Amino acid sequence: MTPSPAFQPSETDNLPSGTRSAEIICVGTELLLGDILNGNAQFLAKELATLGIAHYYQTVVGDNPARIQQAVSTAAERFAKPSGTEAQLLLFTGGLGPTPDDLTIETLADLFGAPMIEHPDLLADIEAKFTARGRAMPPSNRKQALLPEGAMVLPNPQGTAPGIIWSPRPGLTLMTFPGVPREMQAMWKETAVPYLRAQGWVTTTIVSRMLRFWGISESALAEQVAAYLSQGNPTVAPYASKGEAKLRISARANSTAAALAKIEPVEAGIRALVGADCYGADDDTLASVVGKLLLARHQTVAVAESCTGGGLGQLLTDIAGSSAYFHGGVIAYDNQVKVNLLKVDAAVLEDQGAVSAIVAEQMALGAKALLQTDWALSITGIAGPDGGSETKPVGLVYIGLATPEGNVLTYKHEFSGYRGRDWVRQLSALSALDALRRNLL
């Protein structure tokens, strides 16, 4: 690689003196091709938000020295400051391996005009890691012991590729991480975060809580909580995905406890306004919430599924410990299974069709009796893309819920705006869980 002249920042002065911010630069042609989802950027973005470090830009660049240098130059020039002013943190992922296309470290050294120095202790560590695996270190891995002059080692406890912490000019700090998520996350938590705290980067913290809603649209939810959407600290922002509406409450404070103290009254106010449409927060799922409610009542549930093909049972069994309340299910895809196992009336099937309220009722009662549970859920519908008619279009789904008292509730859904077979099946299974949740409440 032909050495570049030492990097010269521009005189552009975009932010007030003392401003600090971070940018993320992810290196890897595989990211540009879409072969790998860029989870590293998502992880680092969340971490920066938690630490209260401002973050305005992300860049993805392929394994090309010239383009990597251009991406770094562009980022470093954004907040170029007079010498000595604290300004910017650039976080890199990818390009630290031993292969010829792993170019991040040497490209940075070339850009800032620094020689590469071999570190004997790093080389010994890499060799020891290969020996522990019963293998000899390939010669190509020797390059991982080469770091720019003046750079500190960012240790990699789980892999052979160390990173660097380097300030090639005043006001600019670089940190490099491998692209392997497990290695990158360990390095971030064990070394990078303590370093940033020690250097005064972390002066406040941002804590977020995600409230989760089912049975209400994003727009309707936003109207109900409109008074909260315009406030400052904490902020409230609506989101939506796959039939679910969300509200993210974020607060900035000097400590996690202080931030939570800001969030709690806002959360309580929103829950009071919205009621049962709010089913949980953060990592809660409809299945996990239903499981907790069943456990609290010492009750059990079974399922009978047609169009979802076992998807409802999978959601329930995704929760560890679900055997305490989930007895099992019947995938009654064929009508004869509905008749023989769930005791659905054949005459009813002939007259009303499999996709009908009465068949959903009988499926739920059949599952409850067969599997000896307190509750039972059933789903029958048309997931598409074929099988619909003018009276029973694609997306029509009936859900049955047999109660401990022997009653059966039915719910009719028409999932319009068809977005594919999986979409109908997923919304059906989640809507069934929500029906059980509301009745358990």
Q: How many whole angstroms separate alpha carbon 318 and alpha carbon 240?
A: 23
Name the strand (E) or helix (H) holding 25.
strand 21-27
Q: Which residue has the higher pLDDT, 241 or 265?
A: 265
Q: How many whole angstroms separate alpha carbon 173 and alpha carbon 175?
A: 7
To 5 degrees, how large is the angle CA 379–CA 381–CA 383? 120
Identical fold for domains 205-280 and 286-440, yes or no, is no
Name the strand (E) or helix (H) holding 167.
strand 163-169
Contacts of 73 (CB under 8 A, 6+ apart): 7, 111
pLDDT of residue 52: 86
CATH class of 286-440: alpha beta
Looking at the DSSP bridge assignments, the partners of residue 379 are: 305, 399
Our CA dihedral for 98, 101, 107, 109, rounded to 10 degrees, sits at 10
* pLDDT tens per residue across span 168-206: 998 899 999 999 999 999 999 999 999 999 998 888 888
* pLDDT tens per residue across span 333-392: 999 999 999 999 999 999 999 999 999 999 999 999 999 999 999 999 999 998 889 899
State the alpha helices, DSSP H only, in 276-405: 286-297, 311-317, 335-340, 346-352, 357-371
* pLDDT tens per residue across span 104-157: 999 999 999 999 999 999 999 999 989 998 999 999 999 999 999 999 999 999
* pLDDT tens per residue across span 28-68: 999 999 999 999 999 999 999 888 888 889 999 999 999 99
Nearest to 426 by CA among 330, 288, 287: 287
pLDDT of residue 419: 83
Question: Taking the CA of residue 239 as centre, how many other CA atoms within 13 Å lie in the half-sphere pointing to its CB?
Answer: 12
40 φ, ψ (degrees, to nearest 5): -65, -40
* pLDDT tens per residue across span 316-348: 999 999 999 999 999 999 999 999 999 999 999
Q: How many whole angstroms separate alpha carbon 53 and alpha carbon 203?
A: 8
Taking a C-beta distance cutoff of 8 angstroms, is the pair 378, 360 a contact? yes
Q: How many whole angstroms separate alpha carbon 404 and alpha carbon 246?
A: 32
Contacts of 162 (CB under 8 A, 6+ apart): 96, 122, 125, 144, 145, 147, 153, 154, 155, 156
Tokens at 147, concatenated: 């770091």
Q: How many whole angstroms separate alpha carbon 267 and alpha carbon 212?
A: 11
Q: Which residue has the higher pLDDT, 101 or 273?
A: 273
Taking a C-beta distance cutoff of 8 angstroms, is the pair 204, 188 a contact? no
Confidence of residue 6 (pLDDT cuts 50, 70, 90): very low
Whether residue 85 has pLDDT greater than 80: no
- The SS3 call for residue 104 is helix
Q: What is the CATH number of domain 20-199?
A: 3.40.980.10
Nearest to 129 by CA among 105, 98, 151, 103: 98
pLDDT of residue 220: 94
Q: What are the extents of the domains in the chain?
A: 20-199, 205-280, 286-440
Taking a C-beta distance cutoff of 8 angstroms, is the pair 245, 238 a contact? yes
> Quick one: DSSP state of residue 319?
S
Q: What is the residue-averaged pLDDT of the chain?
A: 91
pLDDT of residue 87: 57
Q: How many residues comprise the chain?
A: 441
- Tally of CB atoms within 10 A around 314: 14
The fold of the 205-280 domain, in CATH, is: Alpha-Beta Plaits (3.30.70)
> Quick one: DSSP state of residue 270?
H
Tokens at 313, concatenated: 């049972």
Confidence of residue 79 (pLDDT cuts 50, 70, 90): low
pLDDT of residue 4: 39
Helices 65-78, 104-111: axis angle to 10 degrees equals: 60
pLDDT of residue 76: 84
Our CA dihedral for 45, 46, 49, 55, rounded to 10 degrees, sits at 10
